[in-house]
Structure 1
Amino acid sequence: MASVDPAVRAAGARAAGARAVASEPRRKTVSNSFLHRLQRRHFLMFDVLPIAGTAAAVAFLWVQPLGVTEIALLFTFWLVTGLGISVGYHRLFTHRTFKSAPSAAAVLAVCGSMAGQGGVVSWVALHRRHHECSDREGDPHSPNLAGGGLRGRLRGLAHSHFLWMRRHEYPNVAHYAPDLIRNRPLMRVARRYHLWVVLGLLLPALVGGLAHRSWEGAVSGLLWGGLVRMFVLEHTIWAINSFLHMFGTRPYESRENSRNGGIFALLTFGESWHNNHHAFPDSPSFGLTWYRLDPGYWLIRILAAGGLARDIRLPSGQRRAAQRTGRREAAGLDPAT
């Protein structure tokens, strides 16, 4: 998911103004021309540019062939930033599925920011609104609200996968992420979002230049460890918002159309156990059982072993059994609750 972190200040100021007028209810979303300009700018810089960068990387192979350095940079920075999104942005900051030491939280926030998918406060606010309104009016990126038939499904997929980021209502961060706003150490990291994105591009360029001892190596490192890495990670994460709300298995009842795509579990750091996640959003494990691959949860267990994470609780077997598809209808309960 991509978002516009510079809008945090504007949205926060508006929310503060709203609080000053007791008779006015707090708005859940903000929409104005200033925010839309920021959204378009972010969309072009961090969503469209990686596509052009990937094309440039392929063309640059005529100058600097793909080698071990480029593959290592692509994989390493994909892994670091992907876990920053999955474990940091998603499981820790959005759903608070575990608690972490401040140092670990700061590192996860920096790694997630380097992915270029938006600042942590904006990302969290958008994702919490997604869960609140999932596949209903107000969901910023549902593929299921564009009408029926093949045309409606294709329009929905295009919107949810990519196009929604051009322009959308901005969730009021004072409403959706007050816990993060009160977290001063985290906000010091969040305010430097663009610095971390640039760092995520310059580091692979530096390593590539030193490894090859040439400007060609630096450019190749920037392209493969920076822009291609962003392209690959973005589209795997976005596919969860789009395809996994339309296709896949559905072992658990939930009020939206979330699906599991277990075949993509390693590629998505465990995020593709998406129906599991929507059924149990408070679970730090999306796979829920040991044999369902979930690299994000593996990292949480590693952090816990090092004393950097705690309060890791999985849903009980009884709770999971009660939420199984068909069990709620059999018990006379509404499956959408």
Structure 2
Amino acid sequence: MMYTSNLILLASLAIPSLAAYQPVWDINASHFFDNFTFVNSPDTFTNGFTQYVGIDEALSSGLAKINNGKVRLGVDSKNTYSTTSSGRKSLRLQSYGWFDNGLLVADFNHVPVAGCGMWPAFWVYQGEQQQGSYAEIDILENVNVHTANTHSFYTSEKCTINVQKGNLVPEKTTDCTWKSDGPSSQGCSFNAEEGTFNQPFNDQYRVVALQVESERIRIWHFKKTEVPADLSSANPNPDAWTKAPTVHITPKSCDFHKAFNHFYIIINITFCGSWAGDDFSNTNYAGQCKAKTGTSDCKSWVAGHPTDFTNTYFEFNSIKLFQRG
């Protein structure tokens, strides 16, 4: 079933502030591709060395497929590319439906693994439909060989926060305001615990949950043995979960409902670009990729080493949205 923005809007407008959560979306292998559009263009969003392909090529090439009842979304790991091309073929999906608030739960069977050059992300943002306004929350994201997840919050609204739990990355502040012509250090970003990204995630973890409400925003990581039983029910209750969130923020000088809304789900894997880096000598993590690959040139590494990205794929059991009703 395809969930339209009108349905989500109606559900959003009808939510009492502290009512119990009710199921709105249950996106799984039986209808996953009906709920997303596939971007078909080079990655101009992050200047990545990536050519996103449309749904027809994604399915025919096997970059997108149903695998044993799970949804696999990956990258080309067979071909080499010219460094003057638009880049390695990959996927960027955007949900047709959007939401303003609720509990978004991603149940992963696998997150991307490889290392140098990769930049995978599972995130939500307003999209280009809201002119003059921007909001983004990064739920699962990092680059290269890092093994800890990061979470970032950006809004075009003036927005300062109180941090109830979470470790801000060193260059970030509690001002989540973002402007298109602002410095790269703007916005609020938090480090998650070690083991929440890359292969260590696959070894231990399964579920990442985002709660967005007017009074607070929280993000949890759940190991395979920690997934709350009520996530299998129709009425999960995050306030009853014993696992502490990785991040818990509340508004200081900010209207969360105005600052963080109209969210589309994005799933993408890009390469190099503005974070993973075109120059391994100057990217994050103390030159680890230069030492590992023997080159400083991200594009040449990604272009010439297809088998290095055999395990660079997402595999989803489901994506669910619950809203107060």
Determine if the TM-score, normalized by the shorter chain, exceeds 0.5. no
Length-normalised TM-score, structure 2: 0.29
Higher fraction of strand? 2
Length-normalised TM-score, structure 1: 0.29
